[in-house]
Amino acid sequence: MQSAVLDWYAEHGRDLAFRRASDPWAILVSEVMAQQTQAARAAEAWTTFMATYPSPAAMAAASPADVIRAWRGLGYNRRALALHRAARQIVDAHDGRVPDSLEALVALPGIGPYTARAVLAIAFDQPVAALDVNIRRVLGRAFELDGVAAPARQATADGFVPTDRAADWMHALMDVGAAFCRPRDPRCDACPLRDPCPAAGLVAAKPARSRPAPRFASTTRWLRGRILDALRDAPGEGWVRFDGAIGEHEHEAVVAALASLAAEGMLALDGDRARLAPA
């Protein structure tokens, strides 16, 4: 199974910019970006972001507002603030070097068990399995781990990692999950694991959800994004007045979104004016 996956990946794996990186900080940044953003989109932003913040020290020296500006287009902007806090902690507690232990990584702001294990596998080539949704699904089907308790599943998944190719193994499983072992309508006929996989051909295609998704412009996420974009574009001292509706959102909704963003440390408020958090 390892050979089938790795041979396929060597020929067909996605060529994403951050997969060519070896620096632990660059890999940590890429994993935080990819937490809730499509890999291809994150890869496009990663190159420019790394040019601005090539090290934890470079980011730690920046203001939160600068980091939020650089995060533009990636969404879920709380990740930017968490990464900024993580950079400062890396500088203060780890001499500016990304730590290489699970315990130290998960102690960083915004870094959970999956991201920590991904950094260990990719940056430090440690034989640990990072179980995101795609990888967990592939292992659950091909290695019959569905229904296994989480600690045992993690231990078993760790045991499947090739000791000398941890990074390739993780990337390969992620690509197999995205391209073939999909939650709906899996492509078992083309999957590199189709021959040994016990679930091949047995996973029934699921019908598409019938409930329509809300229009993005009507969501709070859209509104928060428009507010932050307005602040990113603000000249001078960066203050912007919000005294009316934005798109489909009435002024009351705008006020509520501003208060929420302020509570998260994303911006500073002064009456109906706001600016990106300066410090």
Active site residues per annotation: 31
- Phi, then psi, of 30 in degrees rounded to 5: -65, -40
Structure tokens at 31: 């994993």
Task: With beta carbons less than 8 A apart as the criterion, state whether 255 and 243 touch.
Answer: no
Are the C-beta atoms of 146 and 133 separated by less than 8 Å? no
Dist. CA 269–CA 244, nearest whole Å: 16
**Token duo for residue 105:** 């990584």
The partner residues of 275 in beta bridges, in order of sequence, read: 268
- DSSP three-state, residue 255: helix
Three-state DSSP class for residue 241: strand
